[in-house]
């Protein structure tokens, strides 16, 4: 069985790339096809040959990939995948749109349908676009959404990273999906049963849709210590918003991050993530979670047991939740939180996804054999 893996782009490292890493462990010799790739991220996949598209040669594309929005459909469609028996795409936008021949099985692990076209109004408001961009972008997004719908028919099967994404796949594309939660490195995160330190933690790329601004503003008003892990284009504006007790840690190693999970008083999640790998990693470290009651967090956090929810993405709602958490802090059991996180362990994902793909491939192979046999019979008659 010849396998190819397709991913949207490899110029940043986040939850989708951690899923890709686990898929690559299942297929250690499969080549990776992607629109663009930085040398730093290529080093994370030393046993895999990485094929990039024509976009790799475009000016400043690795640092400004959003500016090349209209190019992605053609980039992903340009790959010749006819030699492969199985294509596994890891897609939050483009990878599902690769073109495969009928005899090739295409399974898409979907992180989410494109947020920026299906939630366009919220996207444009958060991005703080200039006047010219506001005039042009709606036309570009309309074209991209049309391509998104057309290309949604190309995978044979979808696997969603959460029930939230499963529902979007059904609503936007009229396709069904199975749910397999993404891999979380639970066993690698040190677990702390002792006293926790007096700081709160938030982790993520510093970009508008993560809503880290809500957390920073709330903790400035509360005058509580907050550590912010991550980098992104919003760094300078977030620093201006921050209070004296907010520390920007930047990008750190996994080992350093896992240590913070085991030390923090609580982990904060203001972005309405489709799943939220960092949130589950924090629970693996025994940290209670204070999270927005939407999407992925609503599926992974147990109110009053592993964390608390707030309903609106506002500093006021988060501040109220933090005060409520501090009043109930002694009720949270780090050992119970850790046990809950173990249900999302990386090894479980690898086993479940591997079994799923193997079953679908066997069904596909039998169907191909039956079709070929029927064609022979019709030809003979």
Sheet (strand 86-91) strand order? 50-52, 32-34, 3-7, 86-91, 105-110, 157-160, 177-179
User: In this model, does residue 311 exceed pLDDT 70?
Assistant: yes
Assess if CATH 3.40.50 describes domain 3-113+152-183+346-380: yes
Rounded CA gap, 291 and 37, in Å?
A: 32
C-alpha span between 300 and 273 (Å, rounded): 11
Give yes or no for residue 380 having a pLDDT over 60: no
pLDDT higher than threshold 70 for residue 373 = no
pLDDT of residue 129: 57
Residue matched to tokens 């079709």: 371
User: Rounded CA gap, 209 and 212, in Å?
Assistant: 8
Burial of 331 (0-12, 13-18, 19+ CB in 10 A): exposed
Average pLDDT over every residue of 189-206: 89
Give 202's strand partners.
228
Name the average pLDDT for the chain.
91
Residue-level pLDDT at 15 = 86
What's the pTM? 0.84
- Closest by Cα among 7, 214, 185 to 111: 7
Nearest to 162 by CA among 349, 364, 319, 37: 349
**Within a 13 Å sphere around the CA of 298, how many CA atoms are in the beta-carbon half?**
11
pLDDT bracket for residue 142 (50, 70, 90): confident
Residue 117: pLDDT band with limits 50, 70, 90: confident
Q: What is the pLDDT of residue 82?
A: 96
Question: Under the phi-then-psi rule, with left for phi > 0, alpha for psi from -120 to 50, and beta for the rest, what region is 231?
Answer: beta
Q: What percent of the chain has pLDDT over 90?
A: 77
User: Residue 378 pLDDT > 50, yes or no?
Assistant: no
pLDDT at 67 over 90: no
Looking at residue 122, its pLDDT comes to: 65
What is the distance between the alpha carbons of residues 22 and 286, in angstroms, rounded to a whole number? 23
What pLDDT score was predicted for residue 131? Answer: 63
Measured between alpha carbons, how far is 236 from 233 in angstroms, rounded to an integer?
Answer: 8
Mean pLDDT for the stretch of residues 168-182: 97
Q: What's the pLDDT score for residue 127? A: 57
343-363 pLDDT per residue, tens: 999 999 999 999 999 999 999
Does the domain spanning 186-343 belong to CATH 3.40.50.2000?
Answer: yes
Q: What is the pLDDT of residue 123?
A: 62
> Do 3-113+152-183+346-380 and 186-343 come out as alike in CATH topology?
yes
Mean pLDDT calculated for residue range 156-179 = 96
For residue 124, the model assigns a pLDDT of: 58
Those residues whose C-beta lies under 8 Å from the C-beta of residue 137, and which sit 6 or more positions away, are 124, 129
Count CB-CB contacts under 10 A for residue 262. 21
Residue spans of the domains in the chain: they are 3-113+152-183+346-380, 186-343
């Amino acid at each position: 069985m010849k396998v190819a893996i397709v991913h949207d782009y490899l110029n940043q490292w986040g939850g989708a790339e951690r899923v890709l890493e686990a898929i690559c462990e299942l297929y250690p010799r499969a080549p990776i096809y992607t629109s663009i790739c930085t040398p730093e991220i290529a080093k994370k996949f030393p046993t895999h040959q990485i094929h990039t598209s024509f976009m790799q040669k475009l000016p400043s594309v690795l640092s400004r990939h959003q500016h090349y929005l209209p190019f992605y459909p053609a980039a992903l469609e340009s790959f010749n995948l006819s030699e492969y028996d199985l294509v596994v795409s890891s897609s939050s936008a483009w990878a599902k749109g690769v073109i495969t021949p009928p005899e090739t099985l295409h399974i898409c692990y979907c992180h989410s349908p494109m947020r920026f076209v299906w939630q366009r109004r919220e996207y444009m408001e958060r991005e703080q676009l200039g006047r010219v961009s506001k005039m042009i972008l709606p036309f570009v997004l309309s074209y991209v959404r049309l391509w998104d719908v057309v290309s949604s028919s190309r995978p044979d099967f979808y696997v969603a990273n959460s029930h939230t994404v499963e529902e979007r796949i059904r609503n936007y594309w009229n396709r069904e999906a199975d749910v397999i939660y993404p891999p979380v490195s639970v066993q690698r995160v040190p677990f702390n049963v002792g006293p926790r330190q007096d700081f709160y933690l938030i982790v993520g790329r510093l970009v508008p849709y993560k809503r880290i601004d809500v957390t920073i503003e709330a903790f400035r008003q509360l005058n509580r210590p907050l550590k912010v892990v991550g980098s992104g284009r919003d760094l300078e504006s977030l620093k201006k918003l921050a209070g004296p007790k907010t520390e920007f840690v930047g990008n750190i190693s996994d080992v350093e991050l896992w240590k913070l999970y085991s030390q923090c008083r609580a982990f904060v999640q203001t972005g309405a993530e489709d799943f939220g790998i960092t949130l589950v990693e924090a629970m693996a470290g025994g940290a209670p979670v204070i999270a927005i009651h939407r999407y992925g967090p609503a599926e992974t956090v147990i109110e009053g047991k592993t964390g608390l929810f707030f309903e609106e993405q506002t500093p006021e709602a988060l501040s109220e939740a933090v005060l409520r958490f501090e009043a109930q802090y002694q009720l949270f059991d780090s050992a119970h939180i850790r046990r809950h996180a173990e249900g999302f362990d990386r090894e479980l994902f690898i086993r479940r996804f591997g079994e799923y793909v193997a079953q679908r491939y066997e069904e596909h192979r039998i169907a191909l054999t039956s079709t070929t046999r029927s064609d022979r019979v019709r030809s003979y008659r």
